[in-house]
Structure formats: structure tokens, C-alpha cells
Amino acid sequence: MTLDPSMDGRGQDSQTAELLRRSPSSRAWLVSIALGQVISVLITGTGIFSTELAGHGVNLPIVQSSLNYVLLCVFLARAWPDLRRRGLSAPLWQYVIWAAADFEANFLVVTAYQYTSITSVMLLDCFAIPVAMVLARLLLGARHTLWHVAACLVCLAGLALIVLSDALDGGSHSAPNGPAWLGDALAVCGASLYGLSNVLQERLLKHGAPRSEVLG
């Protein structure tokens, strides 16, 4: 459906609403974008409070991440009767690897706030993107265009400059525990595990595992 430029704003709104109503994929895309923004805000909040805790000498990365897993356990408890009846859609060892990667990623990234700045951690967390691209190619057979590869190289160049900047700075503006390069290394390792976790999750979903099982 095309929108007539001569229509007033109210007419365009109705046309857009009709387009979204008839196109479930458009609605799903918008919902995904909205949820992505909500997740971004929550991750930013995590970084801010982790930095504040590090500044006050609090170092409890497991406790800080525990609420995520408590909430997931609550979700699993609701889905457990159905899971018990039909069984798992994938071998248990795949879920163990995925869970370990996710848990260790959270632990490493939260610990990184003890040594380096929130800016470095939040930017280095983007290393998950090139890792996910490589693993998606190896495990899922995903194909990437030259534009994807070029953007990935730009991302890597920026991350390298961040690490170099922190190394030259000597950690004077990072969290009190220092050195900053150690925090950068922890953030990069955590981001690598995030990339692995995301690809394993996508692999499980594409091989028929229901969302209730994967989230649990």
C-alpha cells in the first residue's frame, strides 16, 4: 500500500495504521525495535549502577547478576509442566554451554567496571557484534555482505583505539581498582561470550526449540 503525499496528517496516520494491521511482519519489526531500545536503557542503567558500586568499593558481580537468573527461574517454573511432558528440543549439553557462556559473560562485564570506565565497558561490549558475525557464519551458515564486513572492521578499529587510549592514559580516569587495560580485557572477553551466547540462542530457536524452553 502506498501513501498519497497529498493526504493530511490524519489520513497518513490511518493509512500507516492500516498498513501495520495488514502486515504482521511490520508490527513484529516495530516491536523488536521498541524492545531493543528498552533493553538498551536497562543495560545503560546496569552500567551506571555498577560504576557507582565500584566507586564505593563494592565488588559483587555474581550478586548483581543474580536477579536476572531468579526471574528466569520464575519463568521456567511456569513453563516446567509443558517441558516435562514433551522433553527438551535439543540435547542438554547445548543448554549447559549456552548457560555457562551467558553467566560468565555477565560476570566478566560486571567485574570490568571495577577496573575501567563505564564508557570503555559500554563501547567494548560492542565486540560481541564481530564475534557474533564470525560464529553465525561458522555455526549457522550466515552470509554477510561487504558492507557488513567493512562496518565490522570499523568497529574493530574503534575498539582498538579505546584499548590503546586506556593503556596510554594509565587508568587515571577509570574505576579505583585499575589498571584500565585489565578492565578492557575483561570487557572484551565478556563481549566475546555474549556473542557466543547470542548465536547459540539463535541456533536453538532456528532448530525448533520454543521460546518458553530457550528463555527458561
* Mean pLDDT of all residues in 142-149: 88
Better-predicted residue by pLDDT, 101 or 169: 101
Q: How high is the pLDDT of residue 134?
A: 92
pLDDT at 76: 78
% of the chain residues with pLDDT over 70:
82
Q: What is the C-alpha separation between 57 and 177, in angstroms, rounded?
A: 9
62/56 Cα distance (integer angstroms): 17
- Asked if pLDDT for residue 170 goes beyond 80, the answer is no
* Whole-number Å distance between alpha carbons of 161 and 4: 48
Q: Can you tell me the mean pLDDT for 94-122?
A: 88
| Mean pLDDT rounded to a whole number for the chain | 79
Its pTM stands at 0.75
- The 10s digit of each residue's pLDDT in 6-36 is 444 444 445 445 544 555 567 777 888 888 8
The pLDDT, as a whole number, for residue 21 is: 55
> For residue 97, is pLDDT > 80?
yes
Confidence of residue 88 (pLDDT cuts 50, 70, 90): confident
